[in-house]
Amino acid sequence: MKRILLVATVATFTMGFAQADGAADYANGGCVGCHGATGISTIPTYPNLAGQNAAYTAKQLKDFRTGARKDPTMNAMAAMIIGKEQSIADFLAAQK
Ligand code: HEC
């Protein structure tokens, strides 16, 4: 069931956005639950990512992965999207 939902979510993203790969990478990465489908978080302690400069976002994701920036949650999440930092950052930069 969870898998079906995920596939449906990814399909929706792929059809709905020009930056299809980044959208799928973002959805597949499990980011949506905390940062929202388009990078607008519904939980105040989770940062909004929509419209952020892509270079900044990509750097944060790499820093979370290497541990240069420390946050237990994001250190774990960044390890799941290795190589997809830039596509996700580009997708988020294009959101409003
Ligand atoms: C369990 C909730 C959770 C999940 C899942 C999650 N994040 Fe985060 N994210 C956070 C929190 C909390 C922070 C703030 C960390 C801090 O205080 O340094 C954060 C910070 C970030 C930042 C830095 C924002 C800034 O303004 O510096 C980026 C970029 C980011 N997350 C991207 C992602 C991506 C991409 C994914 C999916 C691979 C993801 N997050 C999954 C909770 C989450």
> What is the distance between the alpha carbons of residues 62 and 37, in angstroms, rounded to a whole number?
21
| Domain that includes residue 42, residue range | 2-93
CB distance 58 to 66 below 8 Å: no
Distance 49 CA to ligand 1 centre (A): 8
Q: For the segment 16-54, what is each residue's pLDDT rounded down to a tens digit?
A: 444 469 999 999 999 999 999 999 999 999 999 999 999
Which atom of ligand 1 is the closest one to the Cα of 77? 38
Q: How far is the CA of 35 from the centre of ligand 1 (A)?
A: 7
User: Residue 16, Cβ neighbours under 10 Å: how many?
Assistant: 11
Q: Is 7 helix (H, G, I), strand (E, B) or coil?
A: helix
pLDDT bin (cut points 50, 70, 90) of residue 9 is low
Going from the C-alpha of 14 to that of each of 10, 20, 45, 83, 92, the distances in angstroms are 6, 5, 28, 19, 14
Number of separate domains in the chain: 1
Q: Is 46 in the pocket of ligand 1 (CB under 6 A)?
A: yes
CATH number of the domain residue 63 falls in: 1.10.760.10
Residue 7 CA, ligand 1 centroid: distance in Å = 22
